[in-house]
Every structure is written in C-alpha cells, then in structure tokens.
Amino acid sequence: MRGVATVPVVGNQLASASRDSRRNVEINVGKACNNKCVFCLDGMPSKADKGFILLETMKRELARWRSLGHESVGFLGGEPTMYPGIVESIRYARELGYTRIAIATNAMMFRRQEFVDRLIGAGLTRVTVSMHGHTVELEDKLTAVPGAFIKKCEAIARLRVERDRGRLRDGLSVNVVLNGWNYRALPRMMKFFFEKLHIGDLRVNFVRPEGYAEGNAELTPTLTEVVPVLMKAILLNEHRFRRTFTFGGVPLCVLPAELLNSGGLMRKYAGDVFRDLSTDCSVRSDGHGEGVSTVEEGRARFNWQDRKRFDLKNRDDACGECALSSVCEGLWHGYVEIYGTSELSPLRFNGGRLSRATRSVAEAPSPNPSTRPTRRPRRLPLLSP
Ligand code: SF4
C-alpha cells in the first residue's frame, strides 16, 4: 500500500484497475426469504417489509438509474428469486441497456433448469450464491433449513454448466458470511468451493452483527481470532488454489503489516477497498430518511460505500489520525457494541512502510457483558440493503 495516499480517488473510492468501472445499482425487491440464516440482517421482517416491490415501481427504478448512467444492476432481497416480477425485471433491465445484470441469491430456485433458462434467457449475466458452509451440518445449521446444503450444491452444479457455456458472462461467485460457526473452517471451505464445486470466485464478508446476530458473541468472532485464519486463506490461495478470493468488512489496521505493505496483495484480496463496484441502492422505505439516504416515492436511495462509512460503521477517535482514514470504513456498529474498539490503532507511514501506532492486542477482547443475543431480534430500519 505504499503511496496509497497518492492513489487518485474516483468518486468515493480509490482508483483501481482491478475494479469493474461500471456504476452499479442494487434494487431490493422485498425481504421475503425461504431461508432463515442465523445471522440474517433482516431479523424478523414485518408483513409490510416482506411485501414485494410493484413491477411498475421496479421498472421506474430501473429506468431512473439507467438514465443516470448505471450500466450494472443487482437484484437483492430477502430472496430475489421469490419475487414474481424477477424475469420481467431482468428482461426490462436488458432492454434498457444494462450490460451487467446480477442476482444475489440463496440459489434454491436455481435447482430447476427451467428457472435457470428463464432468467438467463431474460438477460441475467451474473449469479452470486450465498453459501456459508462446506458440509451438510454447517450449511443447514447456518441457514436453518434442512437440505439447504444439498440443494445449493445441485443449483451451483447447474449454474456452473451455464458459466462454462459462456451464458453467465459476468460470472458465478459464492459469497460467505464469515462468522463464529464457520471461520475456522475457511481453508476447508476454500478447498470445497474451489476444487469440488469448481467455483472460481469466492468472497468472504465478516459478519455484521445486526438482525438475528445482534449482540451474539458466539456468532461474532473477534477480528483478533479471524485475521490469522484469513491470512492462512490468502497464503493457500497464493500457493495452491490461485482463484479469485477476496474479503470484506475488515478494518485495515488489524491486518498484518506484510499484507498492508504489499500493494499487489491488497489489490488482489481487499475486495471492499480495491474491487467492489461503486454501488447505489434502492430500498423500500416507510418514509423516514436515515443518514445519507434520500427518501422519495417510497424508496430510500443511498450510495452503499457512503452508507457504510457514515451510517453503519464506527470509526474510533484514533481513525482521525490514521494514514488510511480516507480508505478504511472502520467497524460495524454491532461489533463495537459487543467488543469495543480496542483492536484498532491508527496507521502511520514510517520509512515508507505502514505500521500501527500501537502494538496489536495480545489477547482477543471479551464480549461486553451487557450484550447478549436478542431472543426476538429487533426489526432493523428498512434502509439496510
Ligand atoms: S485506525 Fe480506523 S481508519 Fe485506520 S485502519 Fe483502523 S479502523 Fe481504519
């Protein structure tokens, strides 16, 4: 990362040749879902939250963002394959000229070839599958759906065929929420996803302890525990798998200096800093604006990178003195509520190398005794994408 301070900023991101330059919008179709992941951000959505976006509203949103220059669109939920208007929305996006049309899905519906054909035929170019375990026990426990592992494996096998035929031109990826139940298994998960399911693009995002995982220290490991496993994963990828493997949601000062000071490795692995597309979001809103969002016509619209930085993450007082404060987003609020910020330290350039102003913590912090898992997770504000 030497010289990162001189890397030009484009919009609110660092310039990066590893980043797809298309502007992206993610449209939330509604929060209904056919899984019950134990870390789900949506907690227990109300009936209104589960309601799907009207097709005419979806079309208006698609046209609106396209007219602003966005060429990439992602459909999110909940579970977007449950949205009755999904095929029509994808087709309309293609007609409008979007060239990258993606879906973030638990993939259950993609077990059916007819469904795969309809979505790809309508214009789908990329599928990101949420999958968090490499065994029946782990995946079914994390999604709280018996049979989820087998169903996802079947779906990925179908999607892989489409990818290999060139029918998913923006790729097929797996997205893992790295949490207290699965992080130790990350090297085994990589072996499974890369070598058994033949996935070429794996992303791990550190758990955001809100919704069902709010206050849950069991599901939320400390960064002090997770980072060594993440480093092992990077080494494995460098020397064995050699696939696209990225991480997100980890503040930069908890990374080892060897990684931080390697521009090449950071560009390759630090997904949220160097690879993620600039992303705007459109989410149903009941009319109350929050933070950087603007609310109009029943939709809250915001830029995801800004929303994380200004509304959803904490930056310690020390962040103001940090050499990477313009790049790093900090820690999820929910993490700070459980563990505080003792693992953070401002970064400084010393002799051209980045290092922490204080040593890394010797022991992982203990959870704040006043935080405990919410029995009935609070309903989150509607603006969480
Ligand atoms: S001190 Fe703050 S801004 Fe700097 S790397 Fe750590 S979390 Fe990020």
pLDDT tens for the chain, 385 residues: list them.
554 545 677 777 888 888 998 999 999 999 998 888 999 887 666 777 778 999 999 999 999 999 999 999 999 999 999 999 999 999 999 999 999 999 999 999 999 999 999 999 999 999 999 999 999 999 999 999 999 999 999 999 999 999 999 999 999 999 999 999 999 999 999 999 999 999 999 999 999 998 889 999 999 999 999 999 999 999 999 999 999 999 999 999 999 999 999 989 999 999 999 999 999 999 998 776 678 999 988 899 999 999 998 899 988 888 989 998 888 889 999 999 999 999 999 999 988 899 999 998 889 999 998 876 654 444 444 444 4
Which of ligand 1's atoms lies nearest the C-alpha of 331?
Answer: 7
Instruction: Give the C-alpha separation, 93 to 258, whole Å.
Output: 43
Ligand 1 probe mutation, 250, 273, 310, 315, most atoms within 8 A of CB: 315
Q: Which atom of ligand 1 is nearest the CA belonging to 330? A: 7
Q: Which atom of ligand 1 is nearest to the CA of 329?
A: 8
Q: What single-letter amino acid sits at 267?
A: R
Mutate-to-test residue for ligand 1 from 1, 14, 227, 252, highest number of ligand atoms within 8 A of CB: 252
* Any ligand 1 atom below 6 A from CB of 122: no
Tell me the CA–centroid distance for residue 344 and ligand 1, in Å.
Answer: 6
Q: What is the pLDDT of residue 376?
A: 46
Pocket probe mutation, ligand 1, options 325, 333, 342, 343, max atoms within 8 Å of Cβ: 325
Cα 52 to middle of ligand 1, angstroms: 38
| Contact between residue 48 and residue 1 where contact means Cβ atoms under 8 Å apart | no
Q: How far is the CA of 342 from the centre of ligand 1 (A)?
A: 11
Residue 88 zone, left/alpha/beta (φ > 0; ψ -120 to 50; rest): alpha
Ligand 1 centre to CA of 319 (Å) is 5
Question: What phi and psi values does residue 197 have, to the nearest 5 degrees?
Answer: -90, -5
Quick one: which atom of ligand 1 is closest to the CA of 315? 2
Domains, the chain, ordered by start: 20-371 (3.20.20.70)
Q: Give Dmax (Cα) for the chain.
A: 60
**What's the 325 CA to ligand 1 centre distance in angstroms?**
6
The answer to whether 111 and 151 have CB atoms below 8 angstroms apart is yes
CA distance 151 to 268: 31
Q: What is the Å distance from ligand 1's center to 327 Cα?
A: 9
Ligand 1 centre to CA of 356 (Å) is 10
Q: Is the CB of 315 under 6 A from ligand 1?
A: yes
pTM: 0.92
Q: How many CB atoms lie within 10 A of CB 137?
A: 10
What does the block give as tokens for 40?
Answer: 């789900």
Centre of ligand 1 from the C-alpha of residue 36, in Å: 33
- CA 110 to the chain's CA centroid: 20
- Tell me how far the alpha carbon of residue 180 lies from the centroid of ligand 1, in angstroms: 23
What count of residues does the chain have? 385
Cβ 249 under 6 angstroms from ligand 1:
no
Ligand 1: which residue has its CA nearest to atom 6? 253
CA gap 234, 256 in Å, rounded: 12
